[in-house]
Chain A
């Protein structure tokens, strides 16, 4: 058993992180918030050229021949950077929708009764007719609510979409833990960094415990692609992302409540992602039913 990243996987992760740091750093994030509803198509093509969408396509089809573990590592980085856009939908469309793999075509889908980035997408998978715009809580994810009839007809969600969403949640959770720690080390009150106080220290430590537990669950699901492993990954990653962002906000105090701070963006994106593929699909009910099945 070698349940650790290979050297190639470490390199892939570092490569994606470097690309996103260069092309979607804090300034680009701020600029994106200032242009709500507009997707950076040049960046999208760059992501395509870098292989984010074609990652799992065979090399003969212009892909990178990667597997789910590679995709999970790349989407974890996307989550860390708060990269906007229908990334998961476009990734899943690669090889099926022309131009998706290369980043020429932006593909979204109807998922969990919602459609992300409908106005900017070239192709919508699923029935978005009659979809109504929502004033989205997340400034970086425009949302439409699918018409009632379409919501009922939504096919069973792709487990890979659930897993890659969990990977994004993991990345966001890891980043909010880092942001909380960085702030706790530098912000001083009562003559010392607030991170010297146990009440603050414990919030940070609890964030890390959630991140590392979720990481094991998400990576294992990437290796096995098992339905129950994916359900486990989803539950743990959603919890790590939402609670991690909440605790990060708390550690930031008043600054965390401002629009200027980036912390709220992590929380809002985490909330949006918990609804992808439907709130309770691949959730605790699936895992409860498993307990009554014969095998351990």
Chain B
């Protein structure tokens, strides 16, 4: 067991740091959160800078245009970019972390050549059309239908919780192609152009007051059969390849950011005289332990991915469960430090507190994650 980095890893870190110090001051000002076209342009611009410097698709396989970096190098990349205050993956999220890896793993050579380079170069944005109003935790029960009509699919239905739908070029879409098959076996994965006739996007306002998601309505949208990745009715398996792609690094930047915030919180409590409040101080100490441990768990999971050369599998569920609850606890404690200031939407911690409420719901509720841990790791029987 060791936590030290190899000389190659330290060299990678040093080069990255030097590059970040050089380019971050040249970035344009951050766009306002409500200006989606500006956010798209900003996020794509950052992706283009990464591409030009050789950091695009760091963790993608080399034959897909990526850099084939080790999980540890990817960890260092995420840690250093967060520490340096670099932009987040933002609008490139689905392209880099879901749709792209799916196409890389399951697409034909032609599909890879068509869709992967624009993601890496920061030219096209993808969104995700998986969840539906009646298919949330039970995603496989999705009902958006697709019929074959010659060499096209005709798609009707609706999707929900789609981030960046307003500014996306493509949607990785799950549709039902065989309603008579068992639910996991009648699903197909399609790449749908967002400008196709019949696609309607309606922003969805969250409890934080912002339009972070959209509903996407599909009314007889025509999608070429050539846009299907994987075989017809094999979309569930194709999708699961994507979902297990991330090797334990999904929240690296956020954990780094949480640890920084925790120091700011302690400083704020000290400056306001709240440091003498022993229960509050101990709560902060407890959170320090929590996030230090989450960082160690990340290092453990990344090393495991490196050792096995594969995916961490459901180990990611353990991390996600612990982290999402810790994050909520962190912002509840921030509210305690702020006192009545916690009711002021102009304080950034207040908006972060509101958005933290989604963490135990998005990408699998905690209740579903506990089922996954219990059934797939501990081997407890399925059933309710």
Binding site for B on A (CB under 8 A): 1-6, 9, 69, 177, 181, 184-185, 192-193, 195-198, 200-202, 204-206, 208-209, 212-217, 219-220, 222-224, 228-229, 231-232, 235-236, 283-292, 296
**Additional A-B contacts beyond A3-B302, A204-B380, A209-B373 (17; CB < 8 A):** A1-B306, A3-B300, A6-B1, A184-B380, A192-B383, A193-B381, A196-B383, A196-B384, A197-B384, A198-B367, A201-B370, A201-B371, A205-B370, A209-B321, A288-B288, A289-B285, A292-B266
Contact A287 B383 (CB under 8 A): no
Chain B min CB distance to A208 (Å): 6
Binding site for A on B (CB under 8 A): 1-6, 9, 72, 75, 259-260, 262-263, 265-267, 270, 275, 281-286, 288-290, 292-294, 296-297, 299-300, 302-304, 306-307, 315, 318, 321-322, 367, 369-371, 373-375, 377-384
A229 to B275, CA, bound (A): 23
B263 partner, pick from A185, A220, A291, beta carbons under 8 A: A291
B2 proximity list for chain A (CB < 8 A) = 1-3, 223
Contact B381 A1 (CB under 8 A): no
- Known contacts: A231-B289, A232-B289. The answer to whether A216 contacts B382 by CB under 8 A is no
Chain A min CB distance to B250 (Å): 16
- For A211, the closest partner residue in chain B by CB is B318
| A-B CB contact pairs (8 Å), 10 listed | A1-B303, A6-B1, A9-B1, A196-B381, A196-B384, A204-B378, A204-B380, A208-B378, A231-B289, A292-B275
Contact A216 B300 (CB under 8 A): yes
Contact B285 A288 (CB under 8 A): yes
A289 to B318, CA, bound (A): 29
A220 to B303, CA, bound (A): 13
Of A3, A216, A219, the most chain B CB neighbours within 10 A belong to A3
A181 partner, pick from B286, B306, B380, B383, beta carbons under 8 A: B380
Chain A min CB distance to B296 (Å): 4
Contact B285 A283 (CB under 8 A): yes
Contact B289 A219 (CB under 8 A): no
- For B315, the closest partner residue in chain A by CB is A212
B369 proximity list for chain A (CB < 8 A) = 205
